[in-house]
A = this chain, B = another copy of it.
Amino acid sequence: MENSKKVTIHDIAEKLNITASTVSRALNGNPRISERTKKAVLKTADELNYEPNQVASALRSGRTQLIGMLVPSINRAFFSSIIRGVEEVANSLGYHVIVSPSYENLENEERVIKAFLSARVDGVIASIGKSTQQFEHFNQVLGRGLPLVLFDRTTPMLQTSQVVIDDYQGAYMATAHLIEQGCTRIAHFTTERKINIYKERYRGYVNALEDHGVTFDDSLVFSGNLQLEDGQLHTKQLIASGDAFDAIFSASDYAAMGAMQVLKENGFSIPKDVALVGFLNEPFTAFTDPPLTTVNQFPIEMGRTAANLFFNALNSEQQKVTPKKTVLQPELIIRQSSLKQES
């Protein structure tokens, strides 16, 4: 096409008989440059099809306009939606996001953070791996004076901004809803993982029972990995135990799905015999039969919020603002799987 080779501010400067400094200032809207010169520079830049070299700019200014984003997984609906939310905000401000997955593995996390620092990102947005108990790599980010925002999977060990949803509230709403539907023997699927979000869901479950005068029964709580198979297994055990139960609240949609399969195989009617509620609003929950009641975490919104916290921190880096913690409110999406009666 065109000559298509590198046009620099020097080319613009030469053409206008001014210096590169002036061009640079004009392009950046420096108030000390006259309107006339600015106009001329902009016009020439356009004519020459000038494209600023962000690399050079980054080297000199120390700002790459890159955000490193560390996620447990890229292609899970929850995380990919968060990524989308972050990108929306970041891109609109001229920033790029580089995403890398940890696959819940500490070494990967460390490697990724190191790569981010080497790429000289302007800061990091991250969700911590399920089994991560060491946070030195995150402290390195903070030690560099870079903003760090944690989302969903956070830790009190790090003194930094974070955004989470109110898992307690979500679980509480889910459980209360089941009680309102007349259920009194509500099983709960959870995990032993030392990760806050599941503890909170468990707490919400227990408190909702208490608040509504439903007796908590330890034998109705099942712990596993919250995958499809875990849900199947728990449900089989539940049926085999002979214990009465009229609902299951699973801390994950996948385990809830496993429960649905086993219940149907065993001739239980949902929700008539057993009401079912999951957690996370995985895309598939709308398409099960019956559709699964679940808790929406608003992942896109969470991503946007994380990005906003990030830019807050970035823009006030000098003043060392105190870390902010944002708690988003979840929403109970009521579908057929839990609707025993018309409401």
The distance from the CB of A118 to the nearest CB of chain B, in whole angstroms, is 5
Instruction: From B54, B100, B120, B257, give the contact of A91 (CB < 8 A).
Output: B100
Instruction: Chain B residues near A143: list those with CB within 8 A.
Output: 1-2, 4
Interface 1/0s, chain A 104-125, versus B by CB < 8 A? 0000000000110111100000
Interface 1/0s, chain A 40-71, versus B by CB < 8 A? 00000000000111111011000011100000
Chain B interface: which of A26-34, A79-87, A213-221, A305-313?
Answer: A79-87
Chain B interface: which of A165-173, A241-249, A282-290?
Answer: A282-290
A81 and B75 in contact, given A117-B51, A118-B54, A143-B2 (Cβ under 8 angstroms)? yes
Residue of chain B at shortest CB distance from A119: B54
**Residue A96 CB within 8 A of the other chain:** yes
**Residue A333 CB within 8 A of the other chain:** no
**Residue A132 CB within 8 A of the other chain:** no
Complex CA–CA separation, A60 to B155 (angstroms): 40
Task: With a 10 A CB-CB cut-off, give which of A55, A83, A300 has the most chain B CB atoms.
Answer: A55
Instruction: Chain B residues near A55: list those with CB within 8 A.
Output: 55, 58-59, 64, 119-120
Instruction: Chain B residues near A257: list those with CB within 8 A.
Output: 287
* Contact between chains at A120 and B74 (CB < 8 Å): no
Complex CA–CA separation, A51 to B143 (angstroms): 14
The distance from the CB of A25 to the nearest CB of chain B, in whole angstroms, is 19
Instruction: From B64, B264, B282, B288, give the contact of A288 (CB < 8 A).
Output: B288
Task: With a 10 A CB-CB cut-off, give which of A66, A91, A287, A289 has the most chain B CB atoms.
Answer: A287
Instruction: Chain B residues near A286: list those with CB within 8 A.
Output: 284
In the complex, which range does the number of interface residues on chain A fall in? Answer: 35 or more
Instruction: Chain B residues near A2: list those with CB within 8 A.
Output: 143
* Contact between chains at A80 and B91 (CB < 8 Å): no
- Give the copy number: 2
The distance from the CB of A50 to the nearest CB of chain B, in whole angstroms, is 10
The distance from the CB of A97 to the nearest CB of chain B, in whole angstroms, is 7
Interface 1/0s, chain A 1-15, versus B by CB < 8 A? 110100000000000
* Contact between chains at B118 and A51 (CB < 8 Å): yes
Residue of chain B at shortest CB distance from A65: B119
The distance from the CB of A306 to the nearest CB of chain B, in whole angstroms, is 15
Q: List 28 A-B contacts (CB under 8 A).
A: A1-B140, A1-B143, A4-B143, A51-B117, A53-B118, A54-B120, A55-B59, A55-B64, A55-B120, A56-B59, A66-B98, A73-B84, A74-B84, A75-B80, A75-B81, A76-B80, A77-B80, A87-B99, A87-B100, A96-B100, A98-B98, A99-B99, A282-B283, A284-B284, A284-B286, A284-B287, A287-B287, A288-B289
